[in-house]
Amino acid sequence: MAAFHLSTFAENDKVINFLFPVKTEGIENKISSVFGESRGDHFHNGMDISSNGEPVLAMGEGKILYSRFGEDDPFGDEFGTGNSVWLDHGKGIYTAYYHLKDGRLNGFLEDRILGAGEKIGTTGNTGHSSGAHLHFLVLKDYGKIILDPMKFLPPIEDDTPPQIGNLLVHVGEKFTQINDGENINISQSFPVTVGIQDSGKKPGQRRGVAQIQTFLNGEPLKKAGFSSLNYDRGEWRNPEGFRFGELYYRDQYLLGNLDFRNGENTVRVLTWDFKGNLSEKSFTFYVTRIR
């Protein structure tokens, strides 16, 4: 039944009732990747649902904006998105569905209106995809803003706060873990990162980090959210305007190039998940500045 809960999307004066885009059971265990996380050198711009051969459904009533299938150019290179469909829900709101299996459904080259929940394809593994899944996106402003799809889905259980892992200092290709109470020697400022994971009720479930806030010796370093990506000044940015490289370093959350003082230093990390569950962790350590 999980596939047919309703969710409401109020954007300006327009309200869209969005359905879950895959007809499947046990969805709470099938979210394999969430919005805004690091993909090495870019943000993950949608949500991934592990699924193979199941119906993909239009999240809301809309027009077929565009579809692209391997059959359009059988001898060409495969697109990263694989077989994919974009729907136009009006007022600049789109949804998109990637990595679909098989060919285009009949009638998908026409400019026609689909009902909410109408089948638009089948989950597959086409394009840049390792393991069959649906990658789907919710876009507004004609695609210049991408929103966290989690917002528009039926409530997904998550009462477990994010887990804050290791604090790392990166020197070139190498990194060193900074443990609470440790003494470190350092010659200059280097990138400092922290690992954060957010699961649901079970450790293997993926939910997602919604916000981080960091401090060095009581001074705020950064407050950053992950609810949307905005295309601005030639790059995708989070709501505070940070680029990917300002938020992530080597798949960890980047606090910045930190200039530790000689003596005691404290790094404090606060992080919230989508449901507002908060985690907090402090690392206090002793620095000897060397030359």
Residue 137 C-beta: closest distance to Zn ion, Å: 9
- Under rule CB under 5 A, residue 37 binds Zn ion: no
Cβ-count burial 112-131 (b if 16+ within 10 Å, e if not): eebebbeebbbbbebbebee
Residue 90 C-beta: closest distance to Zn ion, Å: 25
- Under rule CB under 5 A, residue 48 binds Zn ion: yes
Q: How far apart (Å, rounded) are the C-alpha atoms in residues 205 and 68?
A: 31
- How buried is 151 (Cβ within 10 angstroms: 0-12 exposed, 13-18 middle, 19+ buried)? middle
Site for Zn ion in 125-154 (CB under 5 A): 135
> One symbol per residue from 14 to 33: x for binding Zn ion (CB under 5 A), - otherwise; what is it?
--------------------
Part in contact with Zn ion (CB under 5 A); list of ranges 42-50, 78-86, 139-147, 259-267: 42-50
- Total residues in contact with Zn ion, by rule CB under 5 A: 2
- Under rule CB under 5 A, residue 104 binds Zn ion: no
CB nearer to Zn ion: give 248 or 260: 248
CA 178 to chain centre: 27
Part in contact with Zn ion (CB under 5 A); list of ranges 40-48, 154-162, 203-211, 252-260: 40-48
CB nearer to Zn ion: give 135 or 207: 135
16 contacts: CB under 8 Å, gap ≥ 6: 8, 9, 59, 60, 61, 89, 93, 152
Instruction: Tell me the HSE value of 263 on the side-chain side, using a 13 A CA sphere.
Output: 1
Residue 133 C-beta: closest distance to Zn ion, Å: 7
Part in contact with Zn ion (CB under 5 A); list of ranges 45-53, 59-67, 71-79, 195-203: 45-53
When CB distances to Zn ion are compared, the closest residue is 135
CB nearer to Zn ion: give 49 or 224: 49
> One symbol per residue from 158 to 197: x for binding Zn ion (CB under 5 A), - otherwise; what is it?
----------------------------------------
Residue 41 Rama label (left phi>0; alpha psi -120 to 50; beta): alpha
Q: What is the DSSP string of 207-232?
A: --EEEEEEEETTEEEEEEE-SEEEEE
Distances, alpha carbon 187 to alpha carbons 193, 260, 262, 267, 291, in Å? 18, 10, 11, 18, 5
Residue 154 C-beta: closest distance to Zn ion, Å: 20
Residue 129 C-beta: closest distance to Zn ion, Å: 8
Residue ranges binding Zn ion (CB under 5 A): 48, 135
